[in-house]
């Protein structure tokens, strides 16, 4: 069994919730279309590590078995299944179906067992036989679709999954798998419909079922990037409520959810709209579910990306403040000189556009408080109109000194007359940007003047 845990990147003894989360994460990475061989391994590991497999309370209902010996063989199959001996389960199912071919449940169990043992060709062949016997049986269609997937027949799998869905197959594992197939084939509207059935389910979710719920939310956020007409308000409100209700189970998913939420915001162009407030409430719910500082930092980083996407899309916010956001939040990896030049660059633009910036600052204070806090000190300096000339001149001194080491900045680009003015001002002799270091001792006021006049320095060359 350890090899199955290894395939999913788990430690032996992982919980059902951890198994499901690892499975859903890996099938997004290794889709059946892009890497059918790896997908087959992941699916096999997942089926083997599931408690009860497909023989639990949810599944097809069969008529009574035709013979008492068939009852005994079914009991033996269940014993092997509980032991985790998949080969014995498969062999017992083959023997039972050979002896009691009229009892279709042995064929159903055989398809599952063959797929779990990696006999995908036989699983497909027997799955097709199963469906021929009962073409409208949603559970038989489900197993054939999964067998096609395991074999790498993705187009056939997608077609049969659609038939199973139309026939009424609604177990959560199948719905998520079908939605992933819809994503592969660009059927985003269908995928959205499938996942909404999960998130809109009115039920009490157990810890074991939470991975399907959160995978559905992640998938819907992804589909929203492709569906520009997707009205997300109601869906996000429901997500916010569920995250608050089940936050004790959500901690290990917070980074995935925050990443998907941030990406969705970029594509939804929600800057300056009512839906942006709903996004913020969802971010707050995700942050509230964090347990570690690493998770909190990651969620805050994704929220900053969301804020930037909103600012870029917000028609009330100008280019200068968009650039200021990048400088304040995205240049952490740059050296001090680069950050100083970039900050001085946008601050000079803010001085030139003072009135517009002060109006936009009111919006920032109300709708983008994290950004406003970073700018608040400089905004207060802009408000002090009597010191504006002094502020600009000081910034220009720094800017002129640094500008030579960089390409054309925003300030010179927007105000080329200042660049022409700078060309007429001697900033340095061009020797070096390093501080001047005196070679000898500094001459004191009362020392003999170095010119040799015999007078004190203060009474001779110091005056010149």
- C-alpha span between 159 and 354 (Å, rounded): 61
Model confidence pLDDT, tens digit, residues 1-20: 446 778 888 877 777 777 87
Q: How far apart are CA 243 and CA 223, in angstroms?
A: 20
Kindly report, residue by residue over 37-61, the tens digit of the pLDDT.
777 778 777 877 775 444 334 678 8
Average pLDDT over residues 320-329: 88
Which two tokens mark 106?
A: 């042995």
Question: What is 336-361 written as a DSSP string?
Answer: HHHHHHHHHHHHHHHHHTHHHHHHHH
Q: What is the pLDDT of residue 275?
A: 74
- Among residues 440, 424, 442, 317, the alpha carbon closest in space to that of 372 is found at 317
Tell me: the pLDDT tens digits for 373-403?
Answer: 989 999 998 988 777 888 888 998 888 888 7
Tokens describing residue 392: 């600009």
Q: Tell me, what's the pLDDT at 28?
A: 75
- HSE at residue 20, side-chain half, CA atoms within 13 A, is 24
Range 362-369 contact pairs with CB under 8 angstroms and sequence separation of 24 or more: 363/314, 363/316, 363/317, 364/317, 364/321, 367/272, 367/276, 368/307, 368/310, 368/311
Candidate from 133-147, 309-323, 436-450 with smallest mean pLDDT: 436-450
Distance from C-alpha of 422 to C-alpha of 433, rounded to nearest angstrom: 17
Tens digits of residue pLDDT in 187-222: 999 999 999 999 988 888 888 888 889 989 999 988
- b/e 290-325 (16+ beta carbons within 10 angstroms → b): beeeebeebbeebbbbbbbbbbebbeebbebbebbb
- SS3 of 13, please? coil
Which carries the bigger pLDDT value, residue 37 or residue 131? Answer: 131
Q: Has residue 428 got a pLDDT over 50?
A: no
Which has the closest alpha carbon to 198: 240, 259, 242? 242
Q: In the beta sheet, which residues pair with residue 456?
A: 448
Query: Taking the chain, what is the end-to-end CA distance rounded to the nearest angstrom?
Result: 91
Share of the chain above pLDDT 70, in %: 91
pLDDT above 90 (res 162)? yes
Distance between CA atoms of 337 and 400, rounded to whole angstroms?
A: 13
Q: How far is Cα of residue 57 from the mean position of the Cα atoms in its chain?
A: 34
Q: Is the pLDDT of residue 418 over 90?
A: no
328 is written with which tokens?
């304040």
Which positions ≥6 away from 221 have C-beta within 8 Å?
A: 260, 261, 263, 264
pLDDT at 269: 64
| pLDDT given for residue 400 in this prediction | 86
> pLDDT at residue 271 above 80?
no
Give the residue carrying structure tokens 């007429």: 424
User: What confidence tens digit (pLDDT) does each residue in 60-80 have?
Assistant: 888 889 899 999 999 999 999
Rounded to two decimals, the pTM is 0.72
Cα separation, 266 vs 309, in Å, equals 5
Of the two residues 462 and 67, the one the predictor is more confident about is 67
The yes-or-no verdict on residue 445 having pLDDT over 60 is yes
Q: Burial letters for 154-174: b for 16+ Cβ neighbours within 10 Å, e otherwise?
A: bebbbebbbbbbebebebbbb
440: pLDDT strictly greater than 90: no
Sign for the CA dihedral angle at 78, 83, 87, 92 comes to negative
3-state DSSP assignment of residue 60: coil
Share of residues in the chain with pLDDT > 90 (%): 37
Bridge partner list, 448? 456
The whole-number pLDDT of residue 143 equals 94
> At 55, phi and psi to the nearest 5?
-105, 20
pLDDT at residue number 463: 63
What does the block give as tokens for 394?
A: 């000081």
- What is the average pLDDT value for the chain, to the nearest integer? 84
Residue 225 confidence (pLDDT): 84
Task: Give the pLDDT band of residue 299 (cuts 50, 70, 90).
Answer: very high
The pLDDT of residue 41 is 79
Region 105-127: mean pLDDT is: 93
pLDDT in the model for residue 11: 77
Model confidence at 424, in pLDDT bands (50, 70, 90)? Answer: low
Q: How confident is the model at residue 86 (pLDDT cuts 50, 70, 90)?
A: confident
In 269-393, the DSSP E strands lie at none
Q: At what angle do helices 86-99 and 68-83 cross, to 10 degrees?
A: 170
């Amino acid at each position: 069994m350890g090899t199955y845990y290894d395939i999913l990147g788990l430690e032996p003894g992982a919980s059902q919730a951890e198994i499901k989360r690892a499975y859903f994460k890996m099938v997004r990475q290794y889709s059946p279309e892009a890497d059918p061989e790896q997908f087959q391994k992941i699916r096999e590991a997942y089926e083997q590590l599931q408690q009860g497999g497909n023989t639990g309370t949810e599944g097809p209902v069969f008529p009574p078995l035709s013979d008492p010996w068939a009852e005994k063989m079914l009991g033996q199959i269940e014993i092997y299944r509980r032991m985790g001996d998949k080969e014995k389960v498969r062999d017992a199912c083959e023997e039972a179906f050979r002896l009691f071919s009229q009892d279709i449940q042995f064929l159903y169990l055989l398809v599952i067992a063959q797929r779990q043992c990696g006999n995908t060709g036989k699983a497909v062949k027997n799955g097709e036989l199963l469906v021929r016997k009962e073409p409208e049986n949603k559970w038989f269609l489900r197993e054939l679709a999964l067998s096609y997937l395991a074999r790498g027949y993705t187009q056939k799998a997608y077609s049969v999954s659609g038939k199973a869905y139309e026939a009424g197959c609604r177990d959560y594992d199948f719905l998520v798998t079908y939605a992933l197939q819809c994503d592969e084939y660009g059927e985003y509207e269908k995928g959205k419909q499938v996942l909404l059935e999960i998130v809109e389910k009115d039920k009490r979710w157990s810890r074991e079922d939470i991975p399907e719920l959160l995978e559905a939310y992640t998938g819907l956020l992804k589909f929203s990037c492709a569906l520009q007409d997707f009205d997300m308000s109601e869906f996000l409100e429901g997500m916010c409520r569920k995250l608050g209700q089940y936050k004790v189970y959500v901690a290990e998913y917070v980074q995935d959810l925050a990443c998907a939420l941030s990406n969705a915001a970029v594509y939804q162009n929600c800057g300056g709209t009512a839906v942006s407030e709903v996004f913020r409430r969802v971010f707050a719910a995700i942050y509230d579910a964090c347990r570690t500082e690493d998770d909190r930092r990651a969620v805050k980083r994704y929220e900053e990306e969301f804020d930037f996407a909103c600012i870029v899309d917000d028609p009330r916010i100008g280019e200068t403040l968009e650039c200021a956001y990048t400088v304040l939040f995205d240049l952490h990896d740059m050296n001090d000189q680069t950050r100083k030049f970039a900050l001085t660059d946008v601050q000079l633009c803010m001085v030139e556009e003072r009135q517009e910036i002060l109006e936009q600052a009111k919006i920032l204070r109300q709708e983008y408080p994290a950004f406003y806090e970073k700018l608040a000190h400089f905004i207060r300096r802009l408000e002090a109109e009597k010191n504006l000339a002094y502020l600009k001149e000081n910034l220009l001194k720094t800017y002129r000194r640094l500008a030579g080491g960089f390409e054309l900045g925003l300030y010179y680009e927007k105000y080329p007359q200042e660049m022409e003015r700078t060309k007429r001002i001697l900033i340095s002799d061009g020797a070096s940007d390093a501080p001047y270091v005196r070679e000898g001792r500094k001459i004191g006021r009362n020392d003999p003047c170095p010119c040799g006049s015999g007078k004190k320095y203060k009474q001779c060359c110091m005056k010149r």
